[in-house]
Amino acid sequence: MPIQYYIYLCLVLFSIGIIGVLTRRNAIIVFMCVELMLNAVNLLLVAFSKMHHAAALTLNPAATTGIEGQLFVFFIMVVAAAEVSVGLAIIVMLYRNTHSVDINFLNRLKN
């Protein structure tokens, strides 16, 4: 597949994630949109990894070029998992105190 297609797809997904962050008020949904962004990145990484791999194969059939991209995805997933645990803990804590997950209500701190 031409790499542009993957880039377009991932950028679209990434932008949808951004739009989600910008348009939703529910902290959990916002967080989910961030996860969507991360997944778009992951997919793009894999696509690039395969692209570089394809390029390397023309010179050396045993080349492992591109593997670092997939490993990076692995680390992103790890980090994402850790973030989710912390993030959800924070959201729950806030919910316990305010009974709301609306980020528009987060305006005690301003100016």
Partner 1 sequence: MSTTEILFYFLSALAVFSAIMVLVSKSPVHSVLWLIVVFFTISGHYVLLNAQFLAIVNLIVYAGAIMVLFLFVIMLMNLNTQTEPQKHIWMKLAGVISGGCFLMVLISLVRQAGDMQGKTALMKTGNIGLIGNLGKALFQDYVVPFEITSVLFLSAMVGAVVIGKK
Partner 2 sequence: MNAIIVSALLGVLMMFSGIWVKNRAAITNIAAAGLLLLVIANLLNTYGVWVIHVNTHGMLEFQQFGLFFNTIAFTATLLYVLLSGRDMERTGADTAEYYALVFFVLCGVSILTSFNGLLMLFLGIEILSIPLYILTGADKKNLRSNEASLKYFLMGCFSTGILLMGITLIYGATGNFSFGNSQPIPGTTMVSAPFLEVAGILLVFVSMAFKVSAAPFHFWTPDVYDGAPSVFTSFMATVVKAAGFIAFVRLFSMHTALMGPSWRIIVTFVIIATLLVGNITAVFQQSVKRMLAYSSIAQAGFMLFALYSDNDLAKEGILLYSIAYSLATIGIFAILIKMNDYTFDGFNGLAKTHPVLAAANTVFLLSLAGIPLTAGFFAKYYMLASAVKAGGSIWLVIIAVIFAAVSVYYYFRVIQAMYFKEGTPSVVPTGKSFHTLLIITAAAIILIGLFPSWVLNFLYF
Partner 3 sequence: MSKLVFLVPLFPLIGFLANGLGRRFLSKPAVSIIGCGAILASFVVSLVLFFDVKANGGGTSTLFNFISVDNFSIPFAFQVDQLSSLFLLIITGIGFLIHLYSSAYMHEEEPQHFGRYFAYLNLFVFSMLLLVMGANYVIMFIGWEGVGLCSYLLIGFWFKNTNYNYAAKKAFVMNRIGDLGFLLAVFWLIFRLGTVSYGDVFANVSKLSTADITAVTTLLFIGAMGKSAQIPLYTWLPDAMAGPTPVSALIHAATMVTAGIYMIARSNILYTLAPATQTLVAVTGLATAVFAATIALKQNDIKKVLAYSTVSQLGYMFLGLGAGAYTGAVFHVMTHAFFKALLFLGAGSVIHAMHHEQDIRKMGGLKKYLPITHITFLLACLAIAGIPPFSGFFSKDEILVAAYAKNPLFYYIGVAGALMTAFYMFRLYTLTFLGNFRGTHEQEHHLHESPWQMTFPLIVLAVLSVLGGFVGIPELFAANAHSLEHFLEPVFAGSNAVAEHHHPEASQEWLMLAGSTAAIVIVIVLAVRLYKNYQPKEETSAGLSKALENKWYVDELYDALIVNPLNALAGFLKNVVEKSGIDGIVNGAGRLVGYGSRQLRLLQSGQVGNYILVMVLAIVVFILIWFNDATITRFFSKIF
* Residues in contact with partner 2 by the rule CB under 8 A: 3, 7, 14, 17, 21, 27, 30-31, 34, 37-38, 40-41, 44-45, 48-49, 51-52, 55-56, 58-60, 63, 65-66, 68-69, 72, 75-76, 79, 82-83, 86-87, 90-91, 93-94, 97-98, 103, 106-110
What one-character DSSP code corresponds to residue 102? B
Q: Minimum Å distance from CB 31 to partner 1?
A: 8
Question: Residue 75 in contact with residue 83, Cβ under 8 Å?
Answer: no
Site for partner 3 in 66-85 (CB under 8 A): none
Segment contacting partner 3 (CB under 8 A): 1-9, 35-43, 71-79, 100-108? 100-108
Q: Which residues contact 76 (CB under 8 A, 6 or more apart)?
A: 38, 41, 42, 45
What one-character DSSP code corresponds to residue 88? H
What is the SS3 assignment for 62? coil
